[in-house]
A and B are shown apart, each in its own frame.
Chain A
Amino acid sequence: MRTVVDVLWKDVLIEWRARARTVALLSFAYTMLLLFAFAIGPDAAALRHHAGAYLWMGMLLCSSLLLDRTMRTEFEAGAIQSLLLVPVSSSGLFYGKALANTLQLWLVGAASVPMVFVVCGASLTESAVSLVATLGLGAAGLAAPGTLYAAMTARLSGRQLLLPLMLFPLVVPVVVAAVKSTSLVMLGDPMEQMGSWLVLLGCFNLVYWSLCGILFGRVIEA
């Protein structure tokens, strides 16, 4: 547990000291949201209806940039070898890095929500807690397999192509559940379906976080 906290703190500190990169990532998310809105055109009803989908498409595209960057930092100048020599357990390293990635993705999502409200004309019709939970579970669902795949592709020549190619198909169930849940928060939930989508997100997280935690050690050794 101590290792997880230490690795998490290390990653947060690295990102804090390189704040310009986080701002660039957020600018990228905003640009994506604007482009989605331009692609649909001035149809206010369609924009509002698909606001949740645009938010998560932006998050998904940002995730591949973020995950590649945070893992590349570890592999540059053999930093990961030094970490493992400390010694740091591979599972502690995975959970620390995955939590740091979750936190950053959650922040990107939370900062994108006001932009979605402005660009798409969406608003909250359900509790803000549900939106916070959806962003958290969705970000965690992207971060766990993303951290593992980023470690796998970090030293491959075509990593910038391979990472999204591997990650995006795998996280489709997470994105579908997160989009549905977000849309229910923004458009209303008269049939009370949100609970089932959040449970589905929780189940995917349980599978990915446990499986990826087990396999991460083998990937790092390789």
Chain B
Amino acid sequence: MKQRWEIGVAIFGTLLLVWSHYTGLFVAPPEAMMGDVGRILYAHVPTAWVGLLTYLVAFVAAIGALATGKAAWDAMVEATVEVGLLLNVLLLIQGSLWAKPTWGVYWTWDPRLTTCAIMVVAFGVVLAIRRQIDEPMRRLTLSSVATIIAFVNVPIVYMSVKWWKTLHQPYSSPETVDSAMVTPLRVAAFGMLFLSTGFVVRRWRIARTALERDFDAPDLPAESAPLAVEDSP
């Protein structure tokens, strides 16, 4: 029971998301320029914030894994990269759904969109490396290094709207939206944070159990001797 607090956190996060999305859809005023299409803000912006935050935790966990070589940190890398990737893909889908009525296309090679798509591939590669390597310590080292390098993309994604000419609007925050939109936006952000925390902790427990078993397993000999076949009389 003690180990299931994350389920409660995830349920609490879901309730916050339900309330904030209801308020965002039916109570808050429509966005001044985009009208009802702008209501995707309550889903899209929290997904982006929490997605980048999850990658930040993955980066810290990767440094922890390299420094300590412990399965618990390695499991955190696996959990955060998986959840971060899920949020990242969700972010691209939400962005495409919003782009069609706003820009007239589902996808355009805008710097923010392109850097977000690159981030999916960069962190997807971390999972690909993890599936390629069986030896636990080697897997820990190489996937942690790949995570640290992939994290270089995160500040680029964040700053892309400032560095390059872009169709995407600049950073959204409670300061950049009307006061009537602030509360549902904040609650949605906390809802997404709690839900993702629940996912990460749950995934971390599962991964840690599997990885600790891998780390504790004795090394097998490189080549086994062929079985002797006795001639029958």
Listed in ascending order, the chain A residues whose CB lies under 8 Å from chain B are 145, 148-149, 152, 156-158, 162, 165-166, 169-170, 172-173, 200, 207-208, 211-212, 215, 218-219, 221-222
Q: Are B128 and A165 in contact (CB under 8 A)?
A: yes
Instruction: Please judge, given known A-B contacts A219-B141, A221-B141, whether A148 and B149 are in contact too, CB under 8 Å.
Output: yes
A158: B residues at CB distance < 8 A: 132
The yes or no answer to B167 lying at the interface (CB within 8 A) is: no
B163: A residues at CB distance < 8 A: 200
Instruction: Please judge, given known A-B contacts A218-B66, A222-B137, A222-B138, whether A152 and B121 are in contact too, CB under 8 Å.
Output: no
How far is it, in angstroms, between the C-alpha of A208 and the C-alpha of B149 when the chains are bound? 8
CB distance from A145 to the nearest CB of B (A): 7
How far is it, in angstroms, between the C-alpha of A207 and the C-alpha of B66 when the chains are bound? 19
**Could you give, for residues 179-198 of chain B, a 1 whenever the CB lies within 8 Å of some chain A CB and a 0 otherwise?**
00000000000000000000
The yes or no answer to B148 lying at the interface (CB within 8 A) is: yes
Nearest-CB residue, chain B, relative to A214: B148
Q: Are A170 and B66 in contact (CB under 8 A)?
A: no
Q: Are A172 and B114 in contact (CB under 8 A)?
A: yes
B99: A residues at CB distance < 8 A: none
CB distance from B125 to the nearest CB of A (A): 5
Q: Are A162 and B142 in contact (CB under 8 A)?
A: no
How far is it, in angstroms, between the C-alpha of A152 and the C-alpha of B140 when the chains are bound? 12
How far is it, in angstroms, between the C-alpha of A148 and the C-alpha of B66 when the chains are bound? 16
How far is it, in angstroms, between the C-alpha of A169 and the C-alpha of B150 when the chains are bound? 9
B145: A residues at CB distance < 8 A: 148, 152, 215, 218-219
List 10 tightest A-B contacts by C-beta distance, closest first. A222-B141, A169-B121, A169-B118, A222-B138, A166-B125, A215-B145, A169-B122, A152-B142, A156-B132, A218-B141
Q: Are B152 and A207 in contact (CB under 8 A)?
A: yes
Q: Are B149 and A170 in contact (CB under 8 A)?
A: yes
Residue among B66, B129, B152, B153 making CB contact with A152, cutoff 8 Å: B129
The yes or no answer to B156 lying at the interface (CB within 8 A) is: yes
For window 111-170 of chain B, which residues contact chain A by CB distance below 8 Å?
A: 114-115, 118, 121-122, 125, 128-129, 132-133, 137-138, 141-142, 144-146, 148-150, 152-153, 156, 163
Residue among A149, A170, A221 making CB contact with B152, cutoff 8 Å: A170
Residue among A149, A165, A169, A211 making CB contact with B148, cutoff 8 Å: A211
Q: 4 more A-B contacts (CB under 8 A) besides A166-B146, A169-B118, A170-B149?
A: A166-B122, A170-B118, A218-B141, A222-B142
Main SS of chain A's interface residues? helix
A169: B residues at CB distance < 8 A: 118, 121-122, 125, 153
How far is it, in angstroms, between the C-alpha of A212 and the C-alpha of B115 when the chains are bound? 21
Q: Are B142 and A170 in contact (CB under 8 A)?
A: no
B115: A residues at CB distance < 8 A: 172
A162: B residues at CB distance < 8 A: 125, 128-129, 132
A207: B residues at CB distance < 8 A: 152
Instruction: Please judge, given known A-B contacts A148-B149, A156-B133, A165-B128, whether A173 and B156 are in contact too, CB under 8 Å.
Output: yes
A149: B residues at CB distance < 8 A: 149
A218: B residues at CB distance < 8 A: 66, 141, 144-145
How far is it, in angstroms, between the C-alpha of A215 and the C-alpha of B146 when the chains are bound? 10
Instruction: Please judge, given known A-B contacts A157-B132, A218-B66, whether A165 and B125 are in contact too, CB under 8 Å.
Output: yes
How far is it, in angstroms, between the C-alpha of A89 and the C-alpha of B146 when the chains are bound? 21
A221: B residues at CB distance < 8 A: 141
B128: A residues at CB distance < 8 A: 162, 165
Nearest-CB residue, chain A, relative to B156: A173
Nearest-CB residue, chain B, relative to A159: B132
For window 13-30 of chain B, which residues contact chain A by CB distance below 8 Å?
A: none
Nearest-CB residue, chain A, relative to B150: A170
How far is it, in angstroms, between the C-alpha of A152 and the C-alpha of B142 when the chains are bound? 7
How far is it, in angstroms, between the C-alpha of A222 and the C-alpha of B114 when the chains are bound? 33
CB distance from B106 to the nearest CB of A (A): 21
B118: A residues at CB distance < 8 A: 169-170, 172
CB distance from A191 to the nearest CB of B (A): 13
